[in-house]
Every structure is written in C-alpha cells, then in structure tokens.
Amino acid sequence: MKELDPIVVLAVFEEMLGAFLWPLVAVVVLGLVAFVVLLARERRVVSRRLVGAEALGVLGGVVALVVMAKVSSSGFTDAGGPADWFLIAAVFGAGLVGSTILVYTLAGWWRAWRGSVGPG
C-alpha cells in the first residue's frame, strides 16, 4: 500500500466498530463544538476543572485501550515491534485527550446550567 486512502480507513473502522462508529463520531463532533463554545463563553480555561478532567482522562485512555483490545483480533501480548507500541500509545493518548475534553466540557456546561437554574 503506497498511499493512505481515507475510504479504506473508514471501511476498516466500520468493520471494527460496527454500529458503534457513527455514535462515537457524533460524540466527538458535538463534544468539540460544545468545548469551543464553552471556551468562547468563559473566555478562559478553568484550571481546577481542567485538573479534574485530566485525572478522569487517564481513565478514558484505559477505556480506549480496552475497546481497542475488544474490537481487534489481537491483544497486547501480540504487540511486537515499535509500530505496534506506537499505535497502543496513540490509542491511549487519543482516549486521554478526548475524554479530558469531554469531561471538562460537561463539567463546564453543568456548572453554567446549575448557575442559571438556581434559586431566583
């Protein structure tokens, strides 16, 4: 394979994740839009919320590795070369970053919603 075809990559992901692919893509897109809107609304990054989200992000990285092991035909003991370990690290990193952004966003919107619904 001399070049990376996006249609082939999409077909591989559809084969691996099945019906779970499109809801996952929707969560990613909606989560990023909500994150950008939250940042624009608050005009800053709340460090306390970010630290909590990063702590839960580690759990998200572990969940991403578990999902990878379930949907692939090989496990972690089959990883042999540097490319395999790089892929494992990339999956963990994507899960960590994605879940950190999602948790930060949910916590920010939860606080904004609770502040607007409070006693008044």
Average pLDDT over residues 34-63: 96
Distance of alpha carbon 120 from alpha carbon 57, whole angstroms: 35
pLDDT of res. 68: 86
Average pLDDT over residues 32-37: 96
Residues sharing a CB contact under 8 Å with residue 111, sequence separation 6 or more, in sequence order: 49
Instruction: Yes or no: say if 46 and 108 are a contact pair by the CB < 8 Å rule.
Output: yes
pLDDT of res. 78: 73
Instruction: Yes or no: say if 104 and 69 are a contact pair by the CB < 8 Å rule.
Output: no
Extents of the domains making up the chain: 6-117
pLDDT of res. 118: 54
Distance of alpha carbon 29 from alpha carbon 89, whole angstroms: 23
98-112, pLDDT tens digit by residue? 999 999 999 999 998
49-79, pLDDT tens digit by residue? 999 999 999 999 999 999 888 887 776 677 7
Instruction: Give, in order, the Cα–Cα distances in Å from 5 to each of 1, 34, 116.
Output: 9, 30, 47
pTM reported for the whole predicted model: 0.82
